[in-house]
């Protein structure tokens, strides 16, 4: 369990994070957020099976993951 709404089970979607009780992958929801869809529309798109709180949790967890892993990808400037 990654959060209240976000889970990862090796038996579901190859272990990729999904919304609890669904096979909706968090990456799909985040892609819709990135496209600028409002959260109500995202929830409606998935038949109401994703509460706004789940979207908020997905955004928060992805932000935390980015902040934790970003330093690994810092490229030092090349001297001129």
Which CATH class name applies to 1-55? mainly alpha
Confidence of residue 1 (pLDDT cuts 50, 70, 90): confident
pLDDT tens track for 22-80: 999 999 999 999 999 999 999 999 999 999 999 999 999 999 999 998 888 888 888 87
pTM equals 0.84
Tell me the backbone φ, ψ of residue 65, rounded to 5 degrees: -65, -40
Q: What is the per-residue pLDDT for 55?
A: 98
Identify the pLDDT of residue 2. 86
Domain locations along the chain: 1-55
For 2, counting Cβ atoms within 10 Å of its Cβ (0-12 exposed, 13-18 middle, 19+ buried), the class is middle
How far is 80 from 76, CA to CA, in rounded Å? 12
């Amino acid at each position: 369990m990654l959060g209240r709404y976000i889970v990862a089970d090796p038996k579901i979607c190859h272990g990729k994070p999904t919304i609890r009780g669904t096979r909706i992958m968090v990456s799909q929801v985040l892609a819709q957020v990135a496209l600028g869809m409002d959260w109500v529309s995202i929830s409606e798109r998935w038949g109401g099976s994703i509460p706004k709180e789940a979207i908020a949790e997905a955004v928060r967890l992805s932000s935390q993951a980015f902040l934790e892993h970003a330093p690994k990808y810092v490229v030092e400037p090349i001297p001129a």
